[in-house]
Amino acid sequence: MKTDCLRRGYVDWSRGELKSRAKDTLRTSYWKGFLVSLLLAVVSGSLPSCNWRSNHGATGGGSGGSSSFTWNMDGFPDVFNGFGAVIVGILLVVIVIAVLAGIALEIFVLSPLKAGSYHYFKRASQEDVDMGYVGYGFKKGNYLGIVAGMFWRGWLNFWWFVLFIIPGIVKSYSYAMVPYILTDNPGIGRKRAIQLSREMMHGQKWRTFVLDLSFIGWFLLGAIALGVGVLFVLPYYNSTRAELYLALRQMALDEGLSSQEELCIL
């Protein structure tokens, strides 16, 4: 078993230190980390994509150019206009149902999966664990607390981004530790999880932003291979983020912002 975070003696952290520890973790569990990162990318909707365009459609050249596809509504009978209103109404209902179903899927299924994925990387940095930790958010006694906390985090982030773009980005960093806190103690409460994350990230938001920026070179390199290479960088990034949480958690314990009992640390 790896040395527990509590005995690592975090006083502060550096990008190099976190990345070095992430590499140590991935040396023995890279492919498990890859699969968990792939799952996290899928449920977060952040899979790299590549748009393919045919020569005819992309250039508009030849006889198959887009200019040949025009609609002439004069030929449609007037009765279609009345029927069209019904069709539009049905489509609106379908869209509303689809949106509500998507929101429910995000809240009750995808959010616990995201939290479980973060939990996996957090635990993998301390010991050799299996991928079953991804389902941690669905365990009895964990589910409701994690769902409530993740929903509250998403709700706050949503309104910050709606009202102010730049402050929204700042606030997203303030709440970045919420998933890790919730998986330490699902019963901590949504408001306390937000509060503790804000306290952990106080004075750390810019440094964390720079930490994220330090991966740009890796992601650009991965994007060269039609975006697929990005997937192989994600375990490194996710593992480093988990190391960041462990560092901030220890600093919070040292400063009396939280306790081992509150975070269920044995």
Per-residue pLDDT of 108-121, as tens digits, reads 999 999 999 999 99
Whole-model pTM above 0.75? yes
Nearest to 141 by CA among 191, 187, 108: 187
Query: Of 2, 4, 6, nearest to 251 (Cα)?
Result: 6
Residue-wise pLDDT tens digits, 145-200: 999 999 999 999 999 998 888 889 999 999 999 999 999 999 999 999 999 999 99
Which pLDDT does position 84 carry in this prediction? 73
Gyration radius of the chain over CA positions: 23
CA-based max dimension of the chain: 78
DSSP letter at 45 equals: T
* Cα–Cα dist 245/241, whole Å: 6
CA atoms within 13 A on the CB side of 147: 16
CB neighbour list of residue 124: distance below 8 Å, 6 or more residues apart = 25, 29, 32, 33, 133, 239, 242
Q: Where are the domains of the chain?
A: 5-45+113-254
Q: What percent of the chain has pLDDT over 70?
A: 82
Residues 112-135: what's their mean pLDDT? 94
In this structure, the number of other CB atoms found within 10 A of the CB of residue 229 comes to 16
